[in-house]
Amino acid sequence: MPLVKNPTNVLCGAVFIVLGGVFAFQASGLMFGSAGRMGPGYFPMVLSVVLALFGVLLVVLGLRVPGAQVHGVFAWRGFIMLLCAVIAFAAAMQPLGFLPAVAASVLLAFLGSRSFSLAAALPLAAGFTFFSWLVFIKGLGLPIQLIGPWLGGY
């Protein structure tokens, strides 16, 4: 019986562990603070640890539960569109504002799917934009400009 029962999960878990470690290393140079008085390194460090823990969980599941095998085909379209979505979000935040940047990046990410449908993507983009507003603006109270100067915001 093979040691690795689900190579896809083991590979993804290993990537998560490595990325979590790299991000934690980068965040280690920032002041951590405490849960009541968070420093600039607190949130990145917590996210890095959570990412690495998800990676450990995936590796353990990949060793114990059978699943899909790794195929030689890589989804370049999805990878490129996700990369474009992240870059578009970063580029659009200042001129367009938070809400349009989130909506545009979600729509770009949806273009990575071969079964892209604008009728399905628009409500999901609207829902994700609303959820992002709820979490980051209302929940966390981040002072982010909702609508940028290019769209008439201040």
| Residue 126 identity (one-letter amino acid) | A
| Residue 1, domain member (yes or no) | no
* Tens of pLDDT, residue by residue, the chain (154 residues): 678 888 889 999 999 999 999 999 999 998 988 878 888 888 899 999 999 999 999 999 999 988 776 677 778 899 999 999 999 999 999 999 999 999 999 999 999 988 889 999 999 999 999 999 999 899 888 899 999 999 987 6
* Residue 1: predicted pLDDT: 63
Which domain covers residue 108, as residue numbers? 76-151
One domain, residues 105 and 54: no
Q: How far apart are CA 135 and CA 138, in angstroms?
A: 6
The reported pTM is: 0.63
Write the Ramachandran bin of 133: left for phi over 0, alpha for psi from -120 to 50, otherwise beta.
Answer: alpha
Q: What tokens does 27 get?
A: 């965040």
One domain, residues 58 and 91: no
Q: How far apart are CA 121 and CA 34, in angstroms?
A: 39
One domain, residues 44 and 23: yes
Q: How far apart are CA 69 and CA 59, in angstroms?
A: 14
| Residue 53, domain member (yes or no) | yes
